[in-house]
Amino acid sequence: MRPPDDFAASEPDQPTQRGSRLVVVLLGLIVVGGLAAAPMVWPADGQDRSTLALFFGRFHPLILHFPIALLALVPVLEVGGLFSRGRHLWASVGFVLWLATFSSILATLLGWLLAWAGGYSGDLVNAHMWSGCTLSLTSMLAALLRRTLVTRGWWSPGFLYPPTLVAALALLGWTAHQGGQLTHGEKYLEEHMPAPLRAWLGLPPVEKRSKPATARKATAETAVEAARGSFATAEITFFEDRIMPAMDRTCVTCHNPNKVKGGLRMDTFAELMKGGDSGPTIVPGDAAASELYRRITLPHDDEEFMPSGGKKPLSADETRWIELWIEAGASEIAGLSAFGEAPPKPVVAEVVLQAPDYRDRIAVLQAWEKTWGLRLVPVSQTATDGLIVRTASAPSRCTDDALAALAPLADLIVDAELARTAVTDRGLAAIAAWTNLRRLDLTQTAVTSSGLSAIAPLTRLELLNLTATGVQEAGLESFRARTDLKLYVEHAPAGAR
């Protein structure tokens, strides 16, 4: 990188300027040094302290976005300045880099106040603070090295500026990642990571419950039961089945080994029973005397209400489960049968598979498209969402024979756009095999009432458009009786059902 001549000349390195910069650097080093010492002298040990310090500390999430944006902007300006039309951008890089440094120092200071006064502790909290301090120092060093590079050229310590800037950007990413883990949980970033990237990073694959190839629907309850095995003899405990899942959802994010708020961990039974800075969290046999139960039953606008920070609170049933569990002695091993009066778990909505995975039949799909000049389009990027038969580009090519040729793909089709095609009653006989069909548009086709009976057994059909066809009212009786079907026919109002 060689700065433009006019830029270098426009910023002479006068003694007074050097003195001013030296003062700024010394002040910055004092601030960063003090900031680095703060976690050692006044560590974040899980104690709640000054409300004024906590007030300022809570500005940390707001301020931290400034160094993120500004540091990310620096390499953009540097690269832009390499081109003749962007040479003027170089003049602003130094200012942006110093602004990023000072905002980084401020964000780190506020972050320390938040941890120190807000009752936070843990390895991840401390690591995040040290990362912030290191980022501030590295950003300042990058700003100084860039100034040296501009005024003295590459044959000076300024040649270290590019790697230092890269290091600052890497630290920025790492520090932001740690902050995300503190806020959303340790596995927030990797939860939905693609399998190839997980393998490349050396992360273990995500365990998925297998589904039978012939299954059309399954509930979370049956999946859990299958995982446990049909011949399991040990009874599931109430703590495992009801209490711990509720804690995981609402409490463990702030009370885990890496983020111990209020000196309390809630990630295991032993840690939960140990309690925190406010004393015992659970008093077995006495819910009213238990700090956990008191906190979760406070008014939601009370500053001691848990979970804090606007997180979704426990449901009424979950609160009742905790109350019953504590009153019964807060046992880790008591089975579900001992809590017959507990509210049942909510019914889990059905997870309905649209269709089987089409990818193992992709060759058949492509062959059909090539033969008939029509299209089969996936509903979405999810391979089990099914296929759509698209004919609008060449409706005349869609004949009864074309539909019959789809027999090997029959269970993959969930939507058929057959308007203005040459389909007749014979084609309806082929459509009758499309067991996962949800939507069928037969507008302006030659189908009749006599052929319509063939598709009556399609129980998953949700929409049927028969506008401008030869279907008579007598042939619609069985379809009109279905409350789950939207039926469109000529002379009937749109969306009649």
- Cα 453 to Cα 441: distance, rounded to the nearest angstrom: 16
C-alpha separations of 296 from 59, 280, 349 in Å: 26, 15, 27
> What pLDDT was estimated at residue 310?
63
Phi, psi of 436 (to 5 degrees): -100, 15
Count the Cβ atoms, other than its own, within 10 Å of residue 465. 21
What is the average pLDDT across 442-454?
Answer: 89
> What pLDDT was estimated at residue 212?
35
What is the average pLDDT across 448-467?
Answer: 89
Task: Read off the pLDDT of residues 50-82 as tens digits, 9 standing for 90 and up.
Answer: 677 767 777 777 787 888 888 888 888 888 888
CB 44 within 8 A of CB 54: no
Task: Read off the pLDDT of residues 87-139 as tens digits, 9 standing for 90 and up.
Answer: 888 888 888 888 888 888 888 888 777 776 666 666 666 777 778 888 888 88
CB 478 within 8 A of CB 459: no
Structure tokens at 240: 């495992």
Q: For residue 418, what pLDDT band results from cuts at 50, 70 and 90?
A: very high
CB 282 within 8 A of CB 273: yes
> What pLDDT was estimated at residue 428?
93
- Cα 11 to Cα 438: distance, rounded to the nearest angstrom: 70
What is the average pLDDT across 404-416?
Answer: 93
Question: At residue 426, does pLDDT exceed 90?
Answer: yes
Position 94, amino acid: G
Q: For residue 434, what pLDDT band results from cuts at 50, 70 and 90?
A: very high
State the DSSP code for 279: B
> What pLDDT was estimated at residue 216?
34
Cα torsion angle, 419, 424, 430, 436, sign: positive
What is the average pLDDT across 287-309?
Answer: 83
In whole numbers, what is the pLDDT of the chain averaged over residues? Answer: 76
Q: Residues 6 or more apart from 185 whose CB is under 8 A from it? A: 252, 253
Instruction: Give all strands (DSSP E) within 353-454, no chain letters.
Output: 375-378, 387-390, 413-417, 439-441
Compare 263 and 331 and report the one with higher pLDDT.
331
Helix (H, G, I), strand (E, B) or coil at 388: strand
The structure's pTM equals 0.42
CB 434 within 8 A of CB 461: no
3-state DSSP percent of the chain in helix, strand and coil, to 5: 55, 10, 40
